[in-house]
Chain A
Amino acid sequence: MISRLFKFSGGVHPPEHKLESTGQPIQVLPVSGTLVLPLRQHVGNLPKILVQPGDHVLKGQLLAEAVGAISAAVHAPTSGTIVSIEDQSIPHPSGLPDVSITLNPDGENRWMPLNPTDWRQRDRAEMISSLRVSGIVGMGGAAFPTQIKLRPGGGSGIKTLIINGAECEPYITCDDMLMRERADEIVRGIEIAHYLLGPEKCIVGIEDNKPEAERAMREACARSAVKIDVAVVPTLYPSGDARRLTALLTGIEVPSDKRSSDVGIQVFNVATMTAVYRYFSLGETVVSRIVTVTGNVARPGNFEVPLGTPMTALLEAAGGELPNTNGLIMGGPMMGFSLPSMQVPVIKATNCIIASAPRLFPAPPPVLPCIRCARCADACPVSLQPQELYWFAKSQNLDKAREYKLFDCIECGCCSYVCPSNIPLVQYYRFAKSEIIAQDKAKEAANLARERNEFRLERIEREKQERAAKHAQRAAGAKAESADADADAAKKAAIAAAMERAKAQKAEVQPKNTEDLSDAAKAEVAAIDVRRAEATAAEPEAANVVKEKQENG
């Protein structure tokens, strides 16, 4: 038993809206129609495609393999034929299409040969490396590849294993239902994670608004050979955030610049544990997930669906959307995002789909100026000063924003939620973050350009000296006087011409403090200016790349 809970400051209590979707058990949906499998279903590198259109694949077969350390594989959710590999609309905050594999099911839903193993007999390192082909990512919505987090025991230094069943966002109930119905699968998964990481203790954290889940988990944990504690935390958004939950359960604040594993803690979502169990014990790769479908639909509930299923099929399973539905939100109402269309597929990060309607999410009242009431600061779970960050972001005082720890912001939305002036604070922070990252990139590029140019100038100078030496050698043979005079005249003419050019340039560009410099220095300055202009021109592109990265991260 956990004797003591800790606290983090801030947090909010939005209306929970969880009862709507917990009325009936999880429904397993069959494969329906064509499946679309985006390669980008996780944080990290895009996996490499291993199939071609026309290939016939079996359920669970590897379609794309992980590339590099942070990446995840993609598998066929059912048996069928690969129809195409092309850009399609995917559920991503950017709303941009991305590479996806389209699979036409053959209706047989035939698994590839599965080889269930007794993981207790397996080598830990071998198990970890096999995770690369499992396709397992954080199923709580973050979608971080799990292989990185399950480093083998001993060397891992993990002392505390935390299993996240807090599920603090309103509306979402997929973890709740999973814990109620499949607590044993979760516990089997925890046992495997325990085997791999060798922690001193295991704690499952559940918010106190899920008593059924808590009971089921307690019973399942009691049946386990591994000692697993179940801790009930007060319902307070965002207690399900990994760092907040860690603080609640252990009193340890993971330092801002470190990962939790650096301080001996690893956090997994309950559904991730189920995926780990299914992979090692049954041999099943990640081909489906549980999704809460709620909001403006006739029969809200939880559904286990094959990945790649279009959202429309999910809505249909939930009785169809009610009148006035004006869009879909993936995730919760605090941190989720609007989907670009109802056709996008379910991916590994799809924990919840909310059909939105004005009655549920009315248009916010007009934005008023900040009155510095500091309610946002009271609500911030990171103890930031959102009202200051807002001013800095708004005035593009980006250095100050960084100094006030903008990058510690987890974009949980508590500040926007409590703001009496209805200021979309989180958007300001996102904007400021992307601006800062873009500036950093541009600065880096400019530095690189400067270094390259210095090197070039050095080379030119060296070549000139070499040429001069050669000339001198040659001239030594010839008669000096007249030739020298000629050379002098030519040199003078060249200098005069260069000065003319420099003057013209000076007139063209804004006045600079380069008047007192030598001509050579002026020429250098001019060259630098040209490159600076080039770097600035390249900036927007750099900014785009950065933004994309930011969103993935």
Chain B
Amino acid sequence: MSAPPYITGNTTVSALMFKVLLALVPGIVAYAWLFGSGILITLALASVTALASEALMLRLRRRPIMPFLSDNSALVTAWLLALALPPLAPWWLVVVGTMFAIVVAKQLYGGLGYNPFNPAMIGYAVLLISFPVIMTQWPAPLELAQARLSFADQLAYIFGRVLPAGVQLDAISTATPLDYLKTQLKLDHAMTDIVSAPVFGAFGAKGSEIVAGAYLLGGLYLIQQRIITWHIPVALLGGLAAISGLFYVIDPQHHASPMFHLLGGAAMLGAFFIATDPVSGPTTPRGKLIFAASIGVLTWVIRSYGGYPDGVAFAVLLMNLCVPLIDAYTQPRVFGHGKS
């Protein structure tokens, strides 16, 4: 018997993180269904690397290994990074990215709870900057691919970069819709022509719009389970929709529709799973709104004017920088102090 309160609720970090993993499952299923089972290999590879790096670092830092390894936070980082990578990325890319995320972005800053930046996004940014070609080489949705790779073929490609005889890289890969959009707009093509290209679906990108829908589903589960609050997803998607909507209304020929922005790229994943990382995000309700709305706007800016096709990762990292400031200026009114 130590000190009050003598009872605690039944929430643990491990359970919170597990529910985040659970909420990712619908998205993963849709992903595997639409883009091939290769993503499962990437996920497994990232998971193993994350756990191994975490254990190694905890050992080097002389911290207890089991309580931290079982908190599931390394797995969340691994899965988020894996889902952000091209599904047929070479094994070493996955390993390098995950290791960087866990070793540098998380453990070197002090481990669970101490990382100022979202580890998965640090891993992603490092890979994107270092290996831009591989990072933007996405497999086409199966529906569009001229050739299909079996699970064994995908395994061979991920680990050995070998394609089955007669299959060219072009047959299975394509530029991402965000990438395509950017190049086409630079070539001064009209939006109506651009979106009629086969990589575009009903609202956004073919295939990934369905995956985005599945992420939305998982995200709603997180809100229902009170793992996250509504503030960040609503403000992020709201910010993105508002600014893209504004420009779409002004000049629809040169700007993609808000729907395309919301369902394309990593917007949904970012809104519900990445920007909601509690450690690197703000804690006050107003702070969350400011933080997430800014990510939404920055994402659009980077997508529209930046050098990279998608901007979620950089937007999140930029806003991570602002978190202490945001928190400091958005303190809620304390009970009994200056009620207006």
Contacts and interface: CB of A to CB of B under 8 A. Distances in A.
Interface of A: 8-9, 12, 14-15, 170, 243, 247, 253-256, 326-327, 329, 331, 333-338, 356, 361, 364-366, 368-375, 377-378, 381-385, 387-388, 404-405, 408, 413, 416-422, 424, 426-427
B4 A334 contact: yes
A375 B5 contact: no
B11 A426 contact: no
Given A334-B4, A369-B111, A370-B113, A417 B9 contact: yes
A420 B6 contact: no
Interface centre among A15, A247, A374, A417 (most CB of B within 10 A): A374
A551 to B, nearest CB: 13
A490 to B, nearest CB: 63
19 contacts: A253-B336, A329-B4, A329-B6, A334-B4, A356-B1, A369-B114, A371-B279, A374-B284, A375-B11, A377-B284, A382-B335, A385-B332, A405-B334, A413-B5, A418-B11, A420-B11, A420-B15, A422-B8, A426-B3
Contacts of B281: 372
Contact of A368 (B3, B113, B332, B334): B113
Contact of B283 (A335, A364, A365, A387): A387
Given A333-B6, A361-B6, A368-B71, 17 more contacts: A329-B1, A334-B4, A336-B4, A369-B111, A371-B13, A371-B73, A371-B112, A372-B278, A372-B279, A373-B278, A374-B284, A384-B334, A405-B337, A408-B336, A408-B337, A420-B15, A421-B113
B278 A408 contact: no
A82 to B, nearest CB: 34
Contacts of A382: 334-336
A327 B279 contact: no
A331 B333 CA distance: 30
B331 interface: yes
Contacts of A9: 335
Nearest to B10: A420
B4 A383 contact: no
B67 interface: yes
Nearest to A255: B336
A365 B278 contact: no
B334 A383 contact: yes
Nearest to B110: A369
Contact of A369 (B6, B11, B112): B112
Contact of B327 (A14, A329, A365, A388): A388
A134 B1 CA distance: 36
B186 interface: no
Interface of B: 1-9, 11-13, 15-16, 64, 67-68, 71, 73, 110-114, 229, 278-279, 281, 283-284, 327, 331-337, 339
Given A337-B4, A377-B283, A377-B284, A371 B113 contact: yes
B172 to A, nearest CB: 40
Contact of B8 (A256, A331, A384, A416): A416
Nearest to A356: B1
Looking at B8, B114, B281, B337, the one whose CB has the most chain A CB atoms below 10 A away is B8
A4 to B, nearest CB: 18
Contacts of B5: 333-335, 413, 416-417, 426
Contact of A243 (B64, B71, B327, B335): B335
Contacts of A373: 16, 278
Given A243-B335, A361-B1, A385 B284 contact: yes
A413 B8 CA distance: 9
B1 A364 contact: no
A366 B11 contact: no
B279 A408 contact: no
A338 B4 CA distance: 8
A387 B287 CA distance: 14
Nearest to B327: A388
A521 B11 CA distance: 62
Contacts of A247: 335
Nearest to A14: B7
Contacts of B1: 326-327, 329, 338, 356, 361
A419 B5 CA distance: 11
Contacts of A371: 13, 16, 73, 112-113, 278-279
B316 to A, nearest CB: 15
Contacts of B7: 14-15, 170, 333-334, 361, 417
Contact of B331 (A256, A369, A385, A418): A385
**Which residue among B9, B281, B335 has the maximum number of chain A CB atoms within 10 Å of its CB?**
B335
B335 A335 contact: no
Contacts of B114: 369
B8 A368 contact: no
Contacts of A374: 278, 283-284
B283 A385 contact: yes
Contacts of B113: 368-372, 421
A254 B15 CA distance: 38
Contacts of B67: 366, 368
B4 A335 contact: yes
B16 A254 contact: no
Contacts of B327: 388
A368 B66 CA distance: 12
B69 to A, nearest CB: 12
A356 B3 CA distance: 13
A79 B51 CA distance: 71
B11 A408 contact: no
Nearest to B5: A413
Contacts of A368: 13, 67-68, 71, 112-113
Contact of A383 (B3, B9, B16, B332): B332
A257 B284 CA distance: 24
A413 B4 contact: yes
A256 B339 CA distance: 11
Nearest to A338: B1
B336 A243 contact: yes
A547 B15 CA distance: 38
A488 to B, nearest CB: 64
Contacts of A420: 11-13, 15-16
Contacts of A384: 334
Nearest to A366: B67
Nearest to B15: A420
A372 B116 CA distance: 11
A173 to B, nearest CB: 17
B283 A254 contact: no
Contacts of A338: 1-3
A170 B8 CA distance: 12
Find the residue from B5, B114, B335 having the highest chain A CB count within 10 A.
B5
A8 B339 CA distance: 13
A77 B11 CA distance: 46
A384 B283 CA distance: 11
